[in-house]
């Protein structure tokens, strides 16, 4: 888990509960999954299938396919194209990786 | 029998919205399909829901899109958001567009198609660009617009007006910009001088651009003439190494945002087998189109940055022109003054495209960027580096498509979006051919991944 | 009038076409006679290339049930593959992903299974029992491939089937041939071939002998050399999924194939639409439908890319190996099984081209000339 490198601009944003790698969290409700992961300090979200290196989101526009995570049991979803919903379960492929 | 739309617009950015307004006002049946959850495209992303705080950070150009957005939302056309178009093919009635809407596959029929899906960031393949902590400036803007998220501290790297705009927005928001590492070659400034004349035809934009540049140079540690960048770090970014005038420097940081301008997205046009042309001025492939946006495939138009790059205002005008072109193609009799408006708009398109030449020349990517170092990963999805690519091309590859088969570069999840251009540069350099002679990576469905199960159940008309 | 000096041939062999057929033969020729000067002329990057649409099966079952020579030739080719793979991998230093793990063709109806059984019996007969196979009922098929859908009634299994990565195969052939001295010229389309008496001129190059391996273009070029090479395009579409856990599919199959990278290839189709290699929704959808019927677990796998290519199809589906009667030294090879026959092309066929027939005791190659198309 990385440092918290991002701030939210709005002071009184409504929060939304989500579950990331089994841990319950609260994030501003307007975030998409990729933004939520950055907000929570997850800079990396998967291991590269060829090199095994850690990879994180890059373009946030749906073009690069780096932000793949499992959402509500469905694997390899583009986090940047998915809005968070209450109690959404998000699993990066790094749950077992330090 | 499924509805056959008179006009199907892909993309709800300025071009798509303007085209939809124009054609639905003329009484055509129009459907707009968009990837995002709300209209506005990239430039006006989330404009309908943005907070006052966000709008004040993002600046006046952002807010200027409100009238267009409101007009679009009130227009008499069908509009579906959060749609992934994954396939388009010709059909006896015109075109079939296959999409994923709320997890289900849906097919739409139309007699005419407008590709207004906009542009994407030029992939800036520097050593280490694949590490966690490296984002694009576009991502920075998207995070700001859609999620009101901003970094605490960041290093901005690259070249182009968007980088400077983001710097301005971040400064207003209180982000600590450690530095702007500007890769614009000094020679670009000299070559851009003849283009000042063109730029002067758009004085407001020119002035805004100059002001923006000046402000950032004064207020933020600004290092120009940067080359030979390398992102450092093991599991994530720890810093950036760069060269200025043959001296190597290091800057520590955990977050880097890259930018080298934007390029037209051409996947849909290529899949439809539209004729493509290499735009030397904008350094990317574009769909060959006439002044009304009609491509080499009858019934298919392009407008906006998805055609050629020109910014929001030009995109809006091109959208309107494309819509008018569509209406002129119908038995609907256009009022006489429409033809005058059309002529004036055509003139504006030509003038704005010419004015754009200043930005294009000034911010043309430095040559060294298209010559990645051997260890640089060029294909992110399949982890193929420049050394492998060069050696395969040297052993006698016909071109970039054969290169793809021999290395897997371009076969991964993004299907060549992040590597296609750079692969072509490498082929062109190694074979000593101009880019205009190198064919781009071919494009096949799906444009967006689709489950086999969804595909099995997709509606056939 | 001054006599014109004939251009002395720079090459012993010019091979027109650098796909799997041309590349296999170029490789085979240079192994047999290392001193040969060979030139391969390949087309442009975006030409129709059957080689790139190949599934990658080394497939014996089902081949030549109506054509004994072809059945024997396919089996012989598959048997030559292991040694061929070893040698080629070693020379090129490329992992071909070659496996001879056996193949399953799934049947989704009893009548289909019955038809397949008859075909296999015929092939076993043609090959004097050298072709081995089993007709499996549903239970036996499940034992080999768990997770099958309810629609699967059984399958044909043959231990002699296998798979390879066809793209790396082509790369390896090219690389190994070049290391042995074969010249490759890409982006070199051949429009006309001139017979010079002592040789042939194509695209500005001169060779003593010429071999046409240009796929669908063989028909046009063949006419220039008085060879009737009747081939027509038959489109095949393939779907390719994202990477998934290895071991999902243990056997090769024309319906489903797992690559060494972990992606799953799903095929296919046979469409007669002329020179159209585009992917189409109806076919992609029906391919997906069948795949999910065979293995329901595939339902959640994402399709990442699709492909369409044009098979080089002769009237009976078997290869054409032809010498020109009028122009000595001109040959034509057409086939749509460039992978299965790669070893045979590099082996006995190359020998035949070099005029040493000792590796074709059954005269299989002669049986696959175009004379079989004459009434």
Asked, for residue A12, whether it belongs to a domain, the answer is: no
pLDDT the model gives residue C179? 96
Question: Please, what is the Cα angle at A19 between A16 and A20, to 5 degrees?
Answer: 120
Asked if the Cβ–Cβ distance from C186 to B396 is below 8 Å, we say yes
Choose among B339, B293, B283: nearest CA to B318. B293
CB atoms within 10 A of CB B248: 10
Is the per-residue pLDDT at C313 higher than 50?
Answer: yes
Distance in angstroms (rounded) separating the CA atoms of residues C327 and C209: 10
Asked, for residue A36, whether it belongs to a domain, the answer is: yes
- Does this complex have an ipTM over 0.85? yes
pLDDT digits (tens, 9 = 90+) for C206-215: 999 999 999 9
Which chains does C contact via 3+ CB–CB distances below 8 A? Answer: A, B
Asked if the Cβ–Cβ distance from B456 to C266 is below 8 Å, we say no
Higher pLDDT residue, B323 or C247?
Answer: B323
Which chains does A contact via 3+ CB–CB distances below 8 A? Answer: B, C
Asked if the Cβ–Cβ distance from A76 to C300 is below 8 Å, we say no
Judge contact between B379 and B412, C-beta under 8 A: yes
Asked if the Cβ–Cβ distance from A75 to C300 is below 8 Å, we say yes
For residues A67-75, average pLDDT: 93
Asked if the Cβ–Cβ distance from B401 to C171 is below 8 Å, we say no
Contacts of C182 (CB under 8 A, 6+ apart): C26, C27, C30, C38, C39, C40
Distance in angstroms (rounded) separating the CA atoms of residues B328 and B317: 16
Distance in angstroms (rounded) separating the CA atoms of residues C25 and C14: 11
Q: Identify from C264, C298, C302 which residue to disrupt to test chain A contact, counting A C-beta atoms within 10 A and taking the largest count.
A: C302
Three-class DSSP category at B299: coil
Asked, for residue A46, whether it belongs to a domain, the answer is: yes
Asked if the Cβ–Cβ distance from B142 to A83 is below 8 Å, we say no
Asked if the Cβ–Cβ distance from C178 to B395 is below 8 Å, we say yes
Judge contact between B435 and B278, C-beta under 8 A: yes
pLDDT the model gives residue B254? 96
Q: What percent of chain C has pLDDT over 90?
A: 85
Judge contact between B251 and B240, C-beta under 8 A: yes
Asked if the Cβ–Cβ distance from C299 to B453 is below 8 Å, we say yes
Distance in angstroms (rounded) separating the CA atoms of residues C305 and C237: 11
Judge contact between C313 and C291, C-beta under 8 A: no
Query: Does A32 reach chain B within 8 Å, measured CB to CB?
Result: yes
Judge contact between A44 and A69, C-beta under 8 A: no
CB-closest option in B395, B400, B444 to C307: B444
Band of the pLDDT at A67, cuts 50, 70, 90?
Answer: very high
Q: Per DSSP, what are the bridge partners of residue B262? A: B121
Strands B83-91 and B94-101: antiparallel
Judge contact between C193 and C324, C-beta under 8 A: no
CB atoms within 10 A of CB C275: 10
Is the per-residue pLDDT at A98 higher than 60?
Answer: no
CB-closest option in B398, B405, B413 to C304: B413
pTM for the predicted model, two decimal places? 0.92
Q: Per DSSP, what are the bridge partners of residue C309? A: C236
Asked if the Cβ–Cβ distance from A30 to B147 is below 8 Å, we say yes
Asked, for residue A47, whether it belongs to a domain, the answer is: yes
First to last CA, chain B: 8
For residues C16-38, average pLDDT: 96
Domains contained in chain A, number: 1
Band of the pLDDT at C356, cuts 50, 70, 90?
Answer: low
Element (H, E) at C306: strand C302-313
Asked if the Cβ–Cβ distance from B236 to A3 is below 8 Å, we say no
Element (H, E) at B54: helix B52-58
Band of the pLDDT at C5, cuts 50, 70, 90?
Answer: very low
Asked, for residue A82, whether it belongs to a domain, the answer is: yes
Name every chain B residue with its beta carbon within 8 A of the beta carbon of A50: 382-383
Q: Domain holding A29: CATH number?
A: 3.10.20.30
Choose among C58, C63, C62, C102: nearest CA to C81. C58
The torsion angles phi and psi of C28, rounded to 5 degrees, stand at -65, -45
**Closest CA of chain B from C299, distance in Å:** 4
pLDDT the model gives residue C358? 59
**Closest CA of chain A from C126, distance in Å:** 45
CB atoms within 10 A of CB A95: 11
Is the per-residue pLDDT at C33 higher than 50?
Answer: yes
What are the distances in angstroms from CA C267 to CA C237, C244, C341? 7, 17, 20
Domain of residue A32 covers: 17-91
Give chain A's mean pLDDT.
Answer: 91
Name every chain A residue with its beta carbon within 8 A of the beta carbon of B130: 53, 55, 58
Name every chain A residue with its beta carbon within 8 A of the beta carbon of C297: none
**Closest CA of chain C from A75, distance in Å:** 9
Q: What is the pLDDT along chain B (461 residues), one digit of tens a residue?
A: 579 999 999 999 999 999 999 999 999 999 999 999 899 999 999 888 888 888 888 888 888 899 999 999 999 999 999 999 999 999 999 999 999 998 889 999 999 999 999 999 999 999 999 999 999 999 999 999 999 999 999 999 999 999 999 999 999 999 999 999 999 999 999 999 999 988 888 888 888 888 888 888 888 899 999 999 999 999 999 999 999 999 999 999 999 999 999 999 999 999 999 999 999 999 999 999 998 899 999 999 999 999 999 999 999 999 999 999 999 888 766 777 778 888 899 899 999 999 999 999 999 999 999 999 999 999 999 999 999 999 999 988 889 999 999 999 999 999 999 999 999 999 999 999 999 999 999 999 999 989 999 999 885 54
pLDDT the model gives residue C6? 44
Higher pLDDT residue, C3 or C244?
Answer: C244
Packing angle, helices C166-179 and B400-407, rounded to 10: 100
Band of the pLDDT at C359, cuts 50, 70, 90?
Answer: low
Nearest-Å Rg of the Cα atoms of chain B is 22
Asked, for residue A4, whether it belongs to a domain, the answer is: no
Cis before C21? omega within 30: no
pLDDT the model gives residue B461? 47
Element (H, E) at C291: helix C281-294
pLDDT the model gives residue B256? 98
Distance in angstroms (rounded) separating the CA atoms of residues B53 and A10: 7
pLDDT digits (tens, 9 = 90+) for C78-122: 999 999 999 999 999 999 999 999 999 999 999 999 999 999 999
Asked, for residue A10, whether it belongs to a domain, the answer is: no
Asked, for residue A9, whether it belongs to a domain, the answer is: no
Distance in angstroms (rounded) separating the CA atoms of residues C370 and B2: 50
**Closest CA of chain C from B339, distance in Å:** 39
Query: Does C305 reach chain A within 8 Å, measured CB to CB?
Result: no
Judge contact between A87 and A19, C-beta under 8 A: yes
């Amino acid at each position: 888990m990385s440092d918290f490198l991002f701030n939210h601009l709005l002071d009184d944003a409504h929060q939304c509960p989500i579950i990331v790698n089994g841990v319950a969290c609260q994030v501003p409700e307007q975030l998409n999954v990729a933004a939520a992961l950055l907000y929570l300090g997850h800079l990396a979200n998967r291991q590269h299938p060829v090199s095994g290196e850690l990879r994180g989101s890059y373009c946030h526009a749906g073009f690069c396919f780096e932000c793949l995570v499992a959402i509500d049991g469905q694997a390899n979803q583009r986090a940047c194209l998915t809005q968070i919903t209450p109690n959404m379960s998000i699993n990066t492929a790094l749950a077992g990786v330090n | 029998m499924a509805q056959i739309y008179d006009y199907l617009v892909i993309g709800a950015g300025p071009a798509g919205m303007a085209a939809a307004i124009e054609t639905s006002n003329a009484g055509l049946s129009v459907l707009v399909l968009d990837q995002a959850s709300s209209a506005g495209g990239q430039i006006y992303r989330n404009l309908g829901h943005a907070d006052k705080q966000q709008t004040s950070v993002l600046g006046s150009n952002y807010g200027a899109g409100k009238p267009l957005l409101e007009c679009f939302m009130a227009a008499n056309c069908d509009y579906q958001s959060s749609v992934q178009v994954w396939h388009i093919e010709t059909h006896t009635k015109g075109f079939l567009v296959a999409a994923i809407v709320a997890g289900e596959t849906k097919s739409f029929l139309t007699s005419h198609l407008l590709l207004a899906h906009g542009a994407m960031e030029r992939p800036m393949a520097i050593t280490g660009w694949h590490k966690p902590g490296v984002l694009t400036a576009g991502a920075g803007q998207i995070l700001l617009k859609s999620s009101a998220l901003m970094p605490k501290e960041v290093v901005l790297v690259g070249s182009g007006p968007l980088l400077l705009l983001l710097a301005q927005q971040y400064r207003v928001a209180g982000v600590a910009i450690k530095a702007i590492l500007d890769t614009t070659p000094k020679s670009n400034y000299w070559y851009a001088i003849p283009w000042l004349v063109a730029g002067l035809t758009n004085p407001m934009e020119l002035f805004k651009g100059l002001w923006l540049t000046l402000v950032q140079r004064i207020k933020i540690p600004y290092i120009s003439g940067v080359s030979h960048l390398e992102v450092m770090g093991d599991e994530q970014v720890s810093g950036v190494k760069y060269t200025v005038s043959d001296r190597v420097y290091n800057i520590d940081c955990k977050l880097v945002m890259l930018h080298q301008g934007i390029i037209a997205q051409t996947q849909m046009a290529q899949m439809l087998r539209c004729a493509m042309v290499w735009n030397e001025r904008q350094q990317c492939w574009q769909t060959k189109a006439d002044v009304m946006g009609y491509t080499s495939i009858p019934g298919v138009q392009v407008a906006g940055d998805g055609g050629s790059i020109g910014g929001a205002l030009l995109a809006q005008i091109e959208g309107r022109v494309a819509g008018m072109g569509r209406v002129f193609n119908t038995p609907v009799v256009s009022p006489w003054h429409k033809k005058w408006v059309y002529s004036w708009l055509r003139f504006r398109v030509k003038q704005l495209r010419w004015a754009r030449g200043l930005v294009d020349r000034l911010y043309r990517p430095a040559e060294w960027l298209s010559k990645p170092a051997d260890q640089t990963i060029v294909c992110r999805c399949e982890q193929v580096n420049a050394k492998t690519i060069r050696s395969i091309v040297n052993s006698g590859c016909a071109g970039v498509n054969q290169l793809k088969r021999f290395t897997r570069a371009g076969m991964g999840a993004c299907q060549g979006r992040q590597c296609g251009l750079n692969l072509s540069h490498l082929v062109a350099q190694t074979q000593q051919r101009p880019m205009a002679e190198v064919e781009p990576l071919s494009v096949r469905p799906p444009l967006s991944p689709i489950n086999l199960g969804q595909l099995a159940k997709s509606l056939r008309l | 009038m001054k006599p014109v000096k004939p251009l002395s041939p720079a090459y012993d062999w010019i091979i027109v076409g650098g796909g799997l057929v041309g590349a296999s033969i170029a490789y085979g020729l240079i192994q047999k006679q290392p001193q040969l000067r060979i030139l391969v002329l390949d087309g442009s990057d975006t030409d129709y290339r059957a080689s790139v649409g190949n599934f990658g099966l080394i497939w014996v079952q089902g081949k030549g049930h109506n054509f004994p020579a072809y059945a024997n030739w396919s089996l012989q080719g598959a048997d030559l593959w292991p040694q061929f793979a070893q040698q080629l991998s070693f020379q090129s230093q490329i992992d071909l992903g070659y496996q001879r793990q056996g193949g399953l063709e799934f049947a989704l109806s009893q009548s289909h299974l019955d038809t397949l059984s008859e075909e296999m019996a015929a092939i076993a007969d043609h090959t004097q029992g050298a072709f081995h196979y089993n007709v499996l009922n549903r239970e036996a098929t499940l034992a080999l491939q768990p997770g099958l859908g309810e629609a699967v009634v059984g399958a044909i299994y043959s231990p002699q089937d296998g798979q390879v990565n066809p793209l790396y195969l082509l790369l390896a052939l090219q690389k190994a041939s070049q290391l042995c001295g074969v010249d490759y010229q890409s982006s070199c389309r051949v429009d006309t071939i001139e017979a010079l008496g002592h040789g042939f001129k194509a695209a500005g190059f001169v060779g003593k002998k010429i071999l046409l391996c240009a796929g669908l273009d063989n028909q046009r070029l063949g006419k220039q050399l008085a060879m009737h090479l009747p081939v027509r395009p038959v489109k095949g579409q393939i779907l390719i999924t994202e990477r998934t856990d290895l071991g999902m599919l243990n056997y090769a199959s024309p319906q489903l194939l797992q690559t060494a990278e972990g992606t799953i290839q799903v095929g296919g189709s046979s469409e007669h639409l002329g020179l159209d290699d585009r992917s189409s929704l109806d076919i992609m959808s029906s391919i997906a439908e069948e795949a999910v019927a065979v293995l329901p677990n595939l339902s959640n796998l994402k399709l990442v890319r699709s492909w369409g290519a044009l098979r080089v199809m002769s009237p009976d589906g078997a290869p054409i190996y032809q010498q020109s009667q009028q122009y000595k030294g001109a040959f034509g090879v057409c086939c749509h099984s460039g992978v299965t026959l790669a070893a045979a092309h590099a082996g006995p066929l190359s020998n035949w081209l070099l005029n040493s027939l000792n590796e074709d005791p059954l005269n299989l190659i002669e049986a696959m000339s175009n004379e079989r198309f004459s009434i």
